[in-house]
Chains A and B, each alone.
Chain A
Amino acid sequence: MRETARCAWSFVLLTLLLFALAAAGLAVGSVSMAEMPEDVAARILDLRARRVLAAALLGGALAVSGFLLQTFFANPIAGPFVLGVSSGAKLCVALVMVLLLSRGVAVGSAGLYAAAFAGSMLVMLLILLLSGRLQQMALLVVCGVMVGYVCSAVTDLVVTFADDANIVNLRAWSLGSFSGVRWEDLRIIAPVVGVGVGWSFLLAKPMNAYQLGESYAQSLGVELRSFRVQLILLSSVLSACVTAFAGPISFVGVAVPHLMRVLLRTAKPLLMVPACFLGGAVFCLGCDLVARTLFAPNELAIGSVTAVFGAPVVIWMLLARRRRGTL
């Protein structure tokens, strides 16, 4: 069957791209490894490996998180960044870092992650509260963007009043980068992302039913309440993970699922969850590569690069939907 073939080829393509970009990520950089002494080269390789791994895992997590939210809100422009969830996580992380660092307490990976998760969940609950009142999806998105701005503004405020020593850290983080990820962090990222994406994959069947609408899902035997809680928790877990360790990264959660839908020509969650994961990984690896190499040795914020590549995709999608009269 053509559709099966198309899907198979898509997955092969994504996997190949993933490996190619990962290899490029390891090989390309502001310094040439061949000229380096062996131990320096090893350390650079170590640095680059951490970075590639983080970009792949977190990129994938972000895209899957976006897909979960889109399923939940039955709206293709929903995503952790658009709904302000990422900004909430960012605010929480900033607060925790400033408060604890000023008292001389070092924040561990788990702590950072906990703060980010708390922030995402808080914004998510706010959005859920609003969604009960706002029937129109467009309004909900506008609200999400507003919440995101408020969170960013407060974050800037916090950063302004932070100690000079912290600011350097915070600035780099709040712009977003995969460079700061440590092996210690990866020990948290890998299981969280692994479990989160795996679980999402297992939710593929009810998600499929849920795409028809609540009442149909319910009549098909989906336990709505627990299903919804799972969706929200999973997407928050995944997006918080990204925000905690790489800072806010925009548009991946919206653009990648859309690109995957176009690529696969289906919205079946069973295919979409793995495709989004792979796609997100490829997208972020590519963007990271661009961020590192375009103006080397200067590095661009990963958020800026994803926005440059992601935003046009979102605009294209909106225009396509507008043409079909559905938003």
Chain B
Amino acid sequence: MTQVRLTASELSAGYDGKAVVKDISFTVRSGEIATLIGPNGAGKSTILKAIARRLAPLGGTLLLNGEALHTLSASDAARALSVLTTERVRADTLRVRDVVSLGRYPYTGALGLLTPHDRAVTEQTMERLGIQTLSERGFDTLSDGQRQRVLLARAVCQEPRVLVLDEPTSYLDVRHEIETLTLLRALARERGIAVVLSLHALSLARRVSDTVLAVKNGGIDRAGPPEEVFAAGYVDTLYDMPRGTYASFFAPPQQTRERAYAFFQNRACEKFPCHKGVAEEDFNCLFCYCPLYALGERCGGNFHYTDKGYKSCVDCSFPHKRENYARILERYGELAELAKPGARIRSGQKLLRCGYTTGVCAACATDAAAHLLLCGEAGETVRLVTPKGTEVVVTPAYCRMEGDAAVCAVRKDAGDDPDVTDGCLVCASVRRTASGITVDGGAGVGRVTKPGLDRSVGEAAINSVPRRMIAEAARAAVQEARYDGGLSVVISVPGGEALAKKTFNPLLGIEGGISILGTSGVVEPMSERAVVDTIEAELRQKRAEGAARVVLTPGNYGADFLRTHALVPEGIPSVRYSNFLGDALDLAVTLGFAEALLVGHVGKLVKLAGGIMNTHSKYADCRAELFCAHAALCGADAALCRHLMDAATTDACLALLDGAGLRAPVLKSLLAAMQRHLDRRTGQALRAGAVLFSNEYGLLGMTETAEAILKDWRN
């Protein structure tokens, strides 16, 4: 194998006497691959054409083993150098073998007849390039990949010492691209061919080349081993891209991988990669953690509702697709937003906008008024972080000086749960004082007249948390203005006195106006918290008045029953607990009550027999089931049980039991169960019993503890 060396020194080449490339210098040796890279129009093809003798050099030299390439005869040159160009070959009706054997052209006689040697070389070459199976095919019936391979075979069949290839992979898919270049690499090594080629695929250039020649603006901008040329950021410079473009697109493969989300990457899930094959009744959205599940109809996926009303996604492949990422990310954003405290609250199936409390309004008004007083101007908006961590931004309704006082008003926004105070103005009137900060209520803010509340009797009904918020707002303004005196803040609510009549305030002994409430600062719509807070306030008040015994009733029925039946002696306070039985019991325990008597309609209270501590029908029903179960325990037959299950009301259940003569034992059984659950909830701290009645039957019965309690109370 003779060694070969192709050397260009200060080579210039171009068209019509005009140089397109200038001062090109490089050397390629046997077995080496030199790759030209660079932007379109940089001159790669021109350089290759000069090497392939398509263009005569306009300057400089191009030497093949020391001999000027362009002075060789056409046939000598053809024996030394073969090419693969981007020219599309239209060799119609030429067979693959004919095309490959054309590589023998420089070696054949006047008529181009092939000698046995030529034929042997042709066959060997086709075998080496793996195209012998194509040899009888017409060239025009081949795919692009096969054609390129055949043309490469032709070039190799020419037994060249230098192989010049212009974009040898331009028509090829990635597989053929890799195959072709791998083959080229092997051929260069095996046969000691010096290979010069141009490539656009940089990743391949990097792999296949011994030398990379970066061509730019008609010159070689950089040359060297690939690791040098592809050093940090050079590709971006070469192709005039913003720095990092290439790297961000290609370099670390991790970055181009699809981002993974738990809902479809949960490989631990036995149903991975999708829900296929899951029985509908087993379906559970947690299989995929699909973040869009809760969107119902709007999720965009493929689902149907089962006859039970559940959303079944067993055939859904929607979240697995990349194009849905944007939607899913958006949904994640929404969920994150929802997870923030205070912004939105879920109530049943609705998401409600939160408002802010009167306390926050008062604090904001104070902030604005204090600034107006001390700094001469109030901001356009007032920003405040509530104790719960939510940021509230409000625009005061007005800010003005009234005499020596600065008065600002903020309109209350109760959010999606309008209460009586929604839309009313909360005003703060701030005056300078000698020292200290005082907070008081003015017109429309109630006064405490009974003990047991957050404030002592005689004080303005401004709870301690809002009071602190108001004081802090004032203090911040003082500090900001470097003012060394004190401030008096008076909070007023125009029309507050009339509003207060629609609230619990009269009941709580708060007179003359509404309370400035809000421990969190944020109104939670449909808030159960508010109800529980009211129960707590009432219980607290009763306890403060000295009561150790309390009657708990769910609502008006219980209160009426107590009144009409005079079951409970005078003086024992009663508190309505709505549906919050568990909370009421817990509060009674923590507030130190000794005895509590539950008096309730069987329709509500029977749920206690099942341990249900929140009797709202949205949490649990089970009344018929409880009746049925206890009736069965007492010997009811299947038919009765079935009828009980079908009964519309508890009164109807009782009628059925009457008919079967089972009312007394079933009620006894139920009451026993209720007592067990009461005891479990209250422990030893509180003695609690339950009394059951119904509007139709009157008093139905009571638990043993209730009997004992009533006996004590009557004595």
1/0 contact trace for B84-108 toward A, CB 8 Å?
A: 0101111111110011001101101
- Residue B53 contacts which of A209, A219, A265 (CB distance < 8 angstroms)? A219
Assess the B110–A270 pair: CB atoms within 8 A: no
Q: How far is the CA of A218 from the CA of B111 in the complex (A)?
A: 17
B78:A220 contact, CB within 8 angstroms: yes
| CB-defined contacts of A221 to chain B, threshold 8 Å | 73-75, 77-78, 105-106
Q: Which of A222, A267, A270 contacts B92 (CB 8 A)?
A: A267
B90 touches A218 (CB 8 A): no
A266 in contact with B90 (CB, 8 Å): no
Contacts of B73 in A (CB 8 A): 221
Instruction: Give bound CA distance, A326 to B158, whole Å.
Output: 28
CA of A223 to CA of B78 in the docked complex: distance in angstroms?
11
Given the known interface contacts A209-B105, A324-B140, the answer about A216 and B83 at a Cβ–Cβ threshold of 8 Å is: yes
- Report the separation of the CA atoms of residues A74 and B92 in the bound assembly, to the nearest whole angstrom: 10
Q: Mark B53-87, 1 if CB is under 8 A from A, else 0.
A: 11000000000000000000111011001110101
Q: Is the CB of A202 within 8 A of B98?
A: no
User: Are B87's CB and A216's CB within 8 A?
Assistant: yes
A68 to B106, CA, bound (A): 22
| B-side contacts of A212, CB under 8 Å | 89, 91, 94, 99, 102, 154
The answer on a CB contact under 8 Å between B95 and A270 is no
Q: Which residues of A contact B110 (CB under 8 A)?
A: 202, 205
Q: Which residues of A contact B654 (CB under 8 A)?
A: none
> What chain A residues lie within 8 Å of B52 (beta carbons)?
215, 218-219
A218: chain B residues within 8 A (beta carbon):
52-54, 74
A220 in contact with B105 (CB, 8 Å): yes
| A267-B99 Cα distance, complex, nearest whole Å | 11
| Contact (Cβ within 8 A) B102 A220 | yes
Asked if A46 CB lies within 8 Å of chain B CBs, one says no
Contacts of B94 in A (CB 8 A): 211-212, 266-268
- Residues of A contacting B39 with CB < 8 Å? none
B166 → A minimal CB distance (Å): 9
A128 to chain B minimum Cβ distance, whole angstroms, is: 19
B661 at the interface (CB under 8 A from A): no
In the bound complex, do residue B95 and residue A208 qualify as a contact, i.e. CB atoms below 8 Å apart? no
Contacts of B108 in A (CB 8 A): 205
Give Cα distance in the complex from A202 to B98, angstroms.
Answer: 18
B300 on interface, CB distance cutoff 8 Å: no
Is residue B485 contacting chain A, with contact meaning CB distance below 8 A? no
Bound CA span A212–B77, Å: 18
- When each residue 288-327 of chain A gets 1 if its CB lies under 8 Å from chain B and 0 otherwise, what string results? 0000000000000000000000000000000000001010
Instruction: Tell me whether A205 and B105 are in contact in the complex, defined as CB-CB below 8 angstroms, given that A219-B82, A220-B158, A221-B75 are known contacts.
Output: yes
Interface size on A, residues (CB 8 A): 27
**Which residues of B lie under 8 Å from residue A261 when comparing CB positions?**
93
* Distance to closest chain A CB from B66 (angstroms): 21
Asked if A194 is an interface residue, CB under 8 A from chain B, the answer is no
A76 to B93 CA separation, bound complex (whole angstroms): 11
- Mask, B111-143, CB within 8 Å of A = 1, is 111000000000000000000000000001000
Contact between B93 and A265, CB atoms less than 8 A apart: yes
Which B residues lie within 8 Å of A202 (CB)? 110-111
Q: How large is the interface on B (under 10, 10 to 19, 20 to 34, 35 or more residues)?
A: 35 or more
Cα(A74)–Cα(B140), bound, Å: 14
Report whether A208 and B74 are in contact in the complex, using a CB–CB cutoff of 8 Å: no
Q: Select from chain A the residue with minimum beta-carbon distance to B98.
A: A268
- The residue in chain B whose Cβ has the minimal distance to the Cβ of A269 is B112
Does A163 lie at the interface of the complex (its beta carbon under 8 Å from any beta carbon of B)?
no
A76, A205, A208, A212, most chain B CB atoms within 10 A: A212
Q: Is A204 an interface residue (CB 8 A)?
A: yes
Q: Digitize A211-233: 1 where CB-to-B-CB distance is under 8 Å, 0 elsewhere.
A: 11111101111110000000000
Considering the complex, give the chain B residue whose CB is closest to the CB of A137. Answer: B90
Contact partner, A211, options B77, B87, B91, Cβ 8 Å:
B91
Contact B74 A223 (CB under 8 A): yes
Contact yes or no, B140 A215, CB < 8 A: no
Q: With both chains docked as a complex, state the minimum distance between the C-beta of B109 and any C-beta of chain A, in angstroms.
A: 8
Q: How far is the CA of A218 from the CA of B88 in the complex (A)?
A: 15
Assembled-state Cα–Cα distance A205/B95 (Å): 16
A267–B77 CB distance below 8 A: no
A205→B111 contact, CB < 8 A: yes
> Inside 8 A of A204's CB, which chain B residues have their CB?
111-112
Residue of B nearest to A207 (CB): B112
Q: Which of B74, B85, B158 contacts A222 (CB 8 A)?
A: B74
Q: How far is the CA of A78 from the CA of B128 in the complex (A)?
A: 38
B residues less than 8 Å from A267 (CB atoms): 91-94
Query: Does A213 contact B90, Cβ atoms closer than 8 Å?
Result: yes
Q: What chain A residues lie within 8 Å of B91 (beta carbons)?
A: 211-212, 267
> Complex: how many Å from CA A74 to CA B108?
23
Query: A-facing mask of B288-325, CB < 8 A → 1, else 0?
Result: 00000000000000000000000000000000000000
Given contacts A220-B78, A265-B93, contact A214 B98 (CB under 8 A): no
Interface string of B254-271 (1 = CB under 8 A from A): 000000000000000000
Distance in angstroms between the alpha carbons of A251 and B43 in the assembled complex: 45
Q: A266 to B112, Cβ gap below 8 A? A: no
**Shortest CB distance A197–B (Å):** 15
Q: State the Cβ distance, A203 to closest chain B Cβ, in Å.
A: 10
CA distance A261 to B95 in the complex (A): 12
Whole-angstrom distance between the Cβ of A253 and the nearest chain B Cβ: 17
> For A74, what are the chain B residues with a Cβ–Cβ distance below 8 Å?
90
Quick one: closest A residue to B138, CB to CB?
A265
**Are A220 and B106 CB-contacts (below 8 A) given A204-B112, A215-B54?**
yes
Residue of B nearest to A215 (CB): B85
- Cα–Cα distance between A204 and B98 once the two chains are bound (Å): 14
**Binary B-proximity of A8-42 (CB < 8 A = 1, otherwise 0):** 00000000000000000000000000000000000
Contacts of B81 in A (CB 8 A): 219
A216–B91 Cα distance when bound, in Å, is: 12
Residues in chain A near residue B99, CB distance under 8 A:
212
Determine the residue in chain B with the shortest Cβ distance to A74. B90
B-side contacts of A213, CB under 8 Å: 85, 87-90
* B87 contacts across to A, CB distance below 8 A: 213-216
Q: Which of B81, B87, B105: most chain A CB closer than 10 A? A: B105
List residues of chain A with CB within 8 A of the CB of B111.
202, 204-205, 270
Residue in chain B with minimal CB distance to A75: B90
Whether B98 pairs with A219 at a CB distance below 8 angstroms is: no
Interfacial chain A residues near B113, Cβ < 8 Å: 270
CA distance A205 to B101 in the complex (A): 12
Q: Which residues from chain A contact B93 at a C-beta distance below 8 Å?
A: 261, 265-267
Within the complex, the shortest CB–CB distance from B295 to chain A, in Å, comes to: 49
Shortest CB distance B97–A (Å): 10
Residues of B within 8 A of A220 (CB): 78, 102-103, 105-106, 158
What chain A residues lie within 8 Å of B82 (beta carbons)?
219
Among A204, A219, A261, A266, which residue has the most Cβ atoms of chain B within 10 A?
A219
For the complex formed, measure the closest distance between the CB of A50 and the CB atoms of chain B, giving whole angstroms: 33
* Distance in Å: Cβ of A79 to nearest Cβ of chain B: 16
- Minimum CB–CB distance from A139 to chain B (whole Å) comes to 17
When distances are taken between beta carbons in the complex, the residues of chain B under 8 Å from A205 are: 105, 108, 110-112
13 A-B pairs, CB-CB below 8 angstroms? A205-B112, A213-B85, A215-B83, A216-B83, A216-B102, A219-B52, A219-B81, A223-B74, A261-B93, A266-B93, A266-B95, A324-B140, A326-B92
Q: A216-B89, A218-B52, A222-B74 are in contact. List 17 more A-B contacts (CB 8 A).
A: A74-B90, A76-B92, A204-B112, A205-B105, A212-B154, A213-B89, A216-B83, A218-B53, A218-B54, A218-B74, A219-B52, A220-B78, A220-B102, A221-B77, A266-B95, A270-B111, A324-B140
Among all A-B residue pairs, the 8 with the closest Cβ atoms: A205-B112, A221-B78, A221-B74, A267-B93, A220-B105, A221-B75, A219-B83, A213-B87
